[in-house]
Amino acid sequence: MRTIRNLVVSLSLISLLFLFGITGISAAAAGDDDMISIQGIGYPPIRAESAAQARLMAKRAAVLDVYRNSLAASASAGKSEDVTYEELSGFVSGITVLDEEYLVDGGVRITARVPKKNIALSRARGPVERTEPRKSESSGGPQRISLDEWYTIIKKLVRIE
């Protein structure tokens, strides 16, 4: 009788582990201070073969964006928003996907968590201060022309027969 009770208790404990998930338990044991929440957005390519392929490729792009954003978040930890890093390189492991949201325009937004200890930066060139570009008249930007000048340019380029 005692062995049957032990068997039932052990089976119920194993089923609880599978029900709540081993990753959920380890994330809870690690604590929220050691985790970073990251979001990534991916969009499907224009020339996807099917809707299923487009959705899978958008999801893959979102996961890659999560990896990139986790490296950027760990590089800029404690810095202001005006500081950015270039040429980030590193290793990320142990990402847990919390939510997948399929957007109306075909994109996918993934919310994930990763332990800080699982992000290893190997190279980051920076920090680089973001500055607003100077707006001057001599910049190589577009110039204003009149409608007559525009028609003259178009007549030279387009031949109508």
Structure tokens at 87: 């040429």
Residue whose entry in the numeric block shows the structure tokens 């409608």: 147
Whether this model's pTM surpasses 0.75: no
Using alpha carbons only, give the angle 37, 40, 41 rounded to the nearest 5 degrees: 150
Strand 96-102 to 108-115 pairing: antiparallel
Query: Is residue 103 within 8 Å of 109, Cβ to Cβ?
Result: yes
What are the tens digits of pLDDT across the range 89-136? 888 999 999 999 999 888 999 999 999 898 888 765 655 555 555 555
How many whole angstroms separate alpha carbon 130 and alpha carbon 114?
A: 27
Instruction: Give the model's confidence band at 84: pLDDT under 50 very low, under 70 low, under 90 confident, else very high.
Output: low
What are the tens digits of pLDDT across the range 7-37? 554 545 445 434 443 333 333 444 557 889 9
The amino acid that residue 79 corresponds to is K
What are the tens digits of pLDDT across the range 36-71? 999 999 999 888 888 889 899 999 999 999 998 998
* The pLDDT of residue 115: 93
Query: Is residue 95 within 8 Å of 71, Cβ to Cβ?
Result: no
* The pLDDT of residue 47: 81
Across the range 74-83, mean pLDDT stands at 66
Backbone angles phi, psi at 56, to 5 degrees: -65, -40
Q: Count CB atoms within 10 A of the CB of residue 42.
A: 20
